[in-house]
């Protein structure tokens, strides 16, 4: 029996004419200003006139190579993570040119490498195949989805776990743990071995198709489990039949993933390699990377893990160590100074997307309309969905924490660009290749860092080593990544 929820009646919320009149008096609308804003005139209020492109520079920098472009897809987590690997393994990989994204995907299981061609600056345009990682993530994620359907066989379809699985699981976005799971199981390949396709960068077409198909198949399986209680062999056959269709769709839209490919290192003859053998030749030890988050609504020194949230059955769940943002930034600065880039999970607001500087002052409209945007803490903004973890970039530059580039004036505060800055590699093509951020923006909108364990400060390393685990629900803000 479904019991009706009766909310508490704490005040009279009816919108009476008298109440409308009181609200209108409080609003104090200037009709001329309202007409100007309605016609787009408020756009001049966005941004800071003291901010200039020439101001945007950082003291410590890492060369990120040529820009990458995720296009109209949610694969930022794949691009940023692969760019981290690209920077970490220059000796073996950097001799090959794989700048041929426009070529059609190979139809055979054996791809051949092109001749190396240095770019204009003499650096080689090497990149890993983002399409390869995306293919296996979508395939493995479909299997994980079906596994959860079986695990939830006793739950009602309106149970919150079922709703979270059906509505928010099978999508293009991802996280660091998802990337590690795919790479450690399926390996990596150069771009030429599995290049971009028309739909890899425009993923809505096949993602909508597969999401709908999986929900339907999941519904059939869930009903069968509840009504018929089939044996394990029948369940396995049903799942394999569904996954065969998923594989077929992925091959049509993304291309067939290569089983082997030809590779010629800087010295020596050609090699026939599998994707896992290619990954094994890297010098990047993903096991030494530590995923840190700043979730003020959970006790610091806690390892947070999302229940029933992953992309590979039996592999790493979605988890991280919760530490203060100051500790995260200290580890990031140490990493950048040592030449190691840092993966950052964050949110970029709409008013930031056409700017080179990410700043808390970018949205002057909030100030103009006198919104109290600091009424909630960073943690509460996440929990009440005022912000979300929606983007991943690679941190490749920073200033010292106390660095200022000019002397403050007597009457005016320093513009944001004169305070310590951070520099990101952003996977949105040449125009959006590099973004800068203020220290205040990092405090407010940076939620997760992936750094090498050796760059942790002593107190942060102790927090990680002595942490206890807190389990978050699949519909938690971390689980909605």
User: Mind giving me the DSSP string for 268-286?
Assistant: SS-EEE-HHHHHHT----G
User: Crossing angle for the helix pair 204-227 and 232-254, nearest 10 degrees?
Assistant: 170
Ramachandran class of 192: left when φ > 0, alpha when ψ lies in -120 to 50, beta otherwise: alpha
Order of strands, sheet of 271-273, starting from the edge strand that comes earlier in the sequence: 110-111, 260-263, 271-273
Per this entry, what is the length of the chain? 481
Q: How many angstroms separate the CA atoms of 284 and 314, rounded? A: 23
Angle 189-190-193 (CA atoms, 0-180°, nearest 5)? Answer: 80
CA atoms within 13 A on the CB side of 348: 20
Query: What pLDDT is stored for residue 88 in this prediction?
Result: 67
Give the global pTM: 0.88
Positive or negative, the Cα torsion across 29, 31, 37, 39?
Answer: positive
Whole-Å CA distances, 87 to 64, 153, 320, 425, 427? 7, 45, 23, 12, 15
Contact indicator for 89, 284 with CB cutoff of 8 Å? yes
Whole-Å CA distances, 85 to 207, 373, 445? 26, 37, 25
Q: How many angstroms separate the CA atoms of 403 and 405, rounded? A: 7
Domains defined for the chain, CATH in brackets: 53-71+285-472 (3.90.70.10), 81-280 (3.90.70.10)
3-state helix, strand, coil in the chain (%, to 5): 40, 15, 45
Query: What pLDDT is stored for residue 443 in this prediction?
Result: 95
> Quick one: which of 311, 312, 331, 313 has its CA closest to 321?
331
pLDDT in tens, the chain (481 residues): 567 777 776 677 888 899 888 888 888 777 777 777 777 665 555 555 555 666 788 999 998 888 888 998 999 999 999 999 887 665 566 555 444 444 444 343 455 444 333 333 323 467 899 999 999 999 999 999 999 999 999 999 999 999 999 998 999 999 999 999 999 999 999 999 999 999 999 999 899 999 999 999 999 999 999 999 999 999 999 999 999 999 999 999 999 999 999 998 877 789 999 999 999 888 788 999 999 999 999 999 999 999 999 999 999 999 999 999 999 999 999 999 999 999 999 998 766 766 788 988 777 677 777 777 667 899 999 999 988 999 999 999 999 988 776 666 655 666 666 788 999 999 888 776 889 999 999 999 999 999 999 999 999 999 999 999 999 999 999 988 7
Tell me the sheet residues that pair with 424: 395, 435
Q: How many angstroms separate the CA atoms of 325 and 245, rounded? A: 44
Contact indicator for 359, 48 with CB cutoff of 8 Å? yes
- Quick check: helix, strand or coil at residue 415? coil
Integer-rounded Cα radius of gyration of the chain: 25
Query: What pLDDT is stored for residue 163 in this prediction?
Result: 96
The residues, any chain, with a CB within 8 Å of residue 314's CB and separated by 6 or more, are: none
Contact indicator for 66, 99 with CB cutoff of 8 Å? yes
Contact indicator for 448, 291 with CB cutoff of 8 Å? yes
Query: What pLDDT is stored for residue 102 in this prediction?
Result: 41
- Quick check: helix, strand or coil at residue 421? strand
The secondary structure element, H or E, covering residue 379 is: helix 378-383
Question: Which residue stretches of 300-368 are H helix?
Answer: 325-337, 364-368
Q: How many angstroms separate the CA atoms of 383 and 188, rounded? A: 36
Angle 364-365-368 (CA atoms, 0-180°, nearest 5)? Answer: 90
Positive or negative, the Cα torsion across 454, 456, 460, 464?
Answer: negative
Question: Which residue stretches of 255-324 are H helix?
Answer: 275-280
Query: What pLDDT is stored for residue 362 in this prediction?
Result: 76
């Amino acid at each position: 029996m479904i019991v009706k929820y009766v909310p508490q009646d704490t005040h009279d919320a009816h919108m009476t004419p008298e109440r409308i009149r009181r609200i209108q008096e409080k609003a104090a609308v200037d009709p001329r200003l309202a007409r100007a804003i309605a016609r787009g005139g408020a756009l001049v209020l966005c941004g800071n006139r003291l901010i200039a492109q020439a101001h945007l520079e950082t003291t410590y920098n890492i060369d990120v190579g040529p820009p990458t472009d995720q296009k109209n897809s949610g694969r930022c987590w794949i691009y940023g993570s692969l760019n981290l690997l690209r920077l970490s393994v220059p000796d073996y990989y950097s001799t090959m040119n794989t700048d041929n994204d426009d070529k059609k995907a190979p139809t055979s299981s054996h791809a051949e490498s092109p001749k190396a061609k240095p770019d204009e600056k003499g650096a080689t345009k090497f990149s890993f195949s983002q399409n390869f990682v995306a293919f296996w993530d979508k395939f493995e994620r479909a299997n994980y989805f079906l596994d959860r359907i079986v695990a939830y066989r006793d739950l009602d379809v309106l149970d919150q776990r079922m709703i979270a699985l059906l509505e928010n699981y099978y999508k293009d976005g991802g996280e660091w743990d998802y990337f590690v799971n795919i790479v450690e199981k399926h390996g990596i390949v150069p771009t030429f071995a599995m290049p971009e396709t028309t739909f890899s960068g425009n993923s809505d077409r096949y993602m909508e198709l597969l999401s709908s198909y999986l929900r339907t198949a999941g519904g059939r399986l869930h009903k069968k489990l509840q009504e018929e209680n089939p044996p394990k062999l029948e369940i396995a056959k049903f799942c394999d039949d569904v996954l065969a269709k998923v594989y077929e769709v992925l091959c049509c839209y993304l291309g067939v993933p290569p089983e082997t490919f030809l590779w010629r290192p800087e010295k020596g003859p050609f090699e026939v390699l599998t994707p896992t053998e290619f990954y094994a030749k890297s010098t990047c030890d993903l096991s030494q990377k530590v995923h840190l988050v700043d979730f003020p609504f959970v006790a610091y020194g806690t390892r947070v893990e999302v229940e029933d949230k992953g992309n590979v059955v039996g592999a790493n769940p979605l988890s991280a160590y919760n530490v203060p943002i100051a500790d995260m930034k200290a580890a990031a600065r140490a990493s950048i100074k040592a030449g190691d880039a840092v993966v950052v999970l964050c949110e970029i607001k709409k008013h930031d997307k056409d700017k080179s500087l990410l700043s808390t002052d970018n949205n002057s409209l909030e100030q103009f309309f006198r919104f109290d945007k600091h009424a909630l803490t960073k943690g509460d903004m996440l929990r009440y969905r005022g912000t979300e973890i929606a983007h991943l970039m690679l941190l490749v530059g920073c200033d010292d924490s106390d660095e200022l580039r000019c002397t403050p004036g007597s009457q005016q505060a320093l513009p944001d660009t004169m305070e310590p800055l951070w520099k990101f590699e952003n996977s949105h093509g040449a125009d959006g290749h590099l973004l800068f951020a203020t220290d205040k923006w990092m405090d407010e909108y940076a939620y997760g860092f992936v750094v090498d364990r050796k760059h942790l400060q002593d107190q942060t390393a102790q927090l990680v080593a002595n942490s206890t685990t807190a389990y978050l629900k699949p519909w938690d803000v971390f689980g909605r990544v």
